[in-house]
Amino acid sequence: MYDSIALVGATGAVGRIVLEQLVQREFPYKKLKLLASERSVGREVRVSGETIKVELLEPDAFKGVDLVIASTPDEVAKEFAPWAVAAGALVVDESGYWRMDPTVPLVVPEVNPDAVDNHSGIIASPNCSTTQLVVALAPLHRAARVRRVIVSTYQATSGAGLPGSEELNDSTRNALAGKVHPPSVFQHPIGFNLIPQIGSDKHEGYTSEEMKMVYETRKIFGDDEIQVCPTCVRVPVKIGHSESILVETERPLTVLEARQLFEGADGVTVIDDLDQHQYPMPRDCEGKDDVFVGRIRHDISGGTGVAFWCVSDNLRKGAATNAIQIAELLVRRGVTAGGKS
């Protein structure tokens, strides 16, 4: 148990779910601090029947804190995480800033739990699209070693935070009224539309979101030889990222074997009955913590791969739940800011 924990970004979309998860999963702690920017300071939040006032995110706020769970923009994480580490706290960070730092473990508990032991005060949680991908790939990788992945994502607007969800509502209302809603969060109107760009141009025509999937997948599996070809698309869905995945393994897998591996994997639920119209869909996976897999089939294009469809709530397993699961893993393994206790 950690005596004192702090949640940074407590009033954001993911921060609110982290608070819910702390209560629902009965995470062990004695004292909870809520930290945020100046505009949220003084706001009162009810947690387990207790009213907690949001405090200012500043260096002195981390005195006496053992564990920090944070959901903030990259520039905020860059500044505050060293404050927390200097004060003796262990940080679980959901931003993108620390993920590829070679001194920072990038962790999905179902995939690489041992990585938490090799921290220097900060443990990173991956990008939401990467998280569900590696949870689904992990049982196949353990059994047959993943060599190549072709993945197309269909990502919900909540991946861009509360403003993204609000823009979906506004854009849809305007489209139904025959009006054009000028976009501010996305590059184009999202109502009744698909936008094949998430992030900026990063590498040979691939966006920053796509390259995150490449680099983070390799880091999590500890295998730089895994080849990933991603295409990331924003879709007019509020919650729940979907992915179409074709995976090739060193030892070819049959569809039956792949299905059995999925069914036996922690954090994976199989929904796969095409005749009965049963497969994962965002509206059915919202509010749930597993990664859902269906449409499992052989690559009929001449390869030896397995194709499947994958859906996950991007605000839960893609963000808040994974951070809480990392924190739970730290408790189980007795990991502290100074190492294993």
**Judgement on whether residues 277 and 333 belong to the same structural domain of the protein:** no
Catalytic hit among 119, 128, 181, 310: 128
First to last CA, the chain: 11
Same structural domain for residues 113 and 148?
A: no
At 80-127, the pLDDT tens digits run 999 999 999 999 999 999 999 999 999 999 999 999 999 999 999 999
Torsions phi, psi for 137 (to 5 deg): -75, -25
**Enclosing domain of residue 138:** 129-313
The string over 250-288, giving b where at least 16 C-beta atoms fall within 10 Å of a residue's C-beta and e elsewhere, is eeebeeeebbebbeebebbbbbbeeeeeebbbbeebbeb
Query: In 10 A of CB 218, how many CB atoms?
Result: 16
**Domain co-membership, 266 together with 284:** yes
Catalytic residue among 181, 241, 285, 310: 241
Q: How many domains does the chain have?
A: 2
Domain identity same for 334 and 302: no
C-alpha to C-alpha distance for 25 and 47, rounded to whole angstroms: 13
Mean pLDDT (10-residue bins), the chain, 341 residues: 90 88 92 92 89 94 96 95 97 97 98 96 98 98 98 97 94 95 95 97 96 98 98 98 98 97 98 98 97 97 93 96 97 80 52
Respond yes or no: is residue 119 known to be catalytic.
no
Half-sphere exposure (Cβ direction) of 190: Cα atoms closer than 13 Å: 28
Tell me, yes or no, whether 309 and 216 share the same domain: yes
Q: Clarify whether residues 142 and 288 are in a common domain.
A: yes
Q: Where residue 116 sits, what CATH number does that domain have? A: 3.40.50.720
d(CA 282, CA 263): 20
d(CA 234, CA 138): 25
Residue 10 has a pLDDT of 85
pLDDT at 339: 64
Asked if 157 and 281 sit in the same domain, the reply is yes
Q: Are residues 292 and 185 in the same domain?
A: yes
pTM, to two decimals? 0.95
> Active-site residue 128, yes or no?
yes
Where residue 218 sits, what CATH number does that domain have?
3.30.360.10
Tokens representing 61?
A: 């706020």
B/e letters for 46-82, b = 16+ CB within 10 Å, e = fewer, are eeeeeebebbebeeebbeebbbbbbbbeeebbeebbe
Collapsing DSSP to helix, strand or coil, 268 comes out as: strand
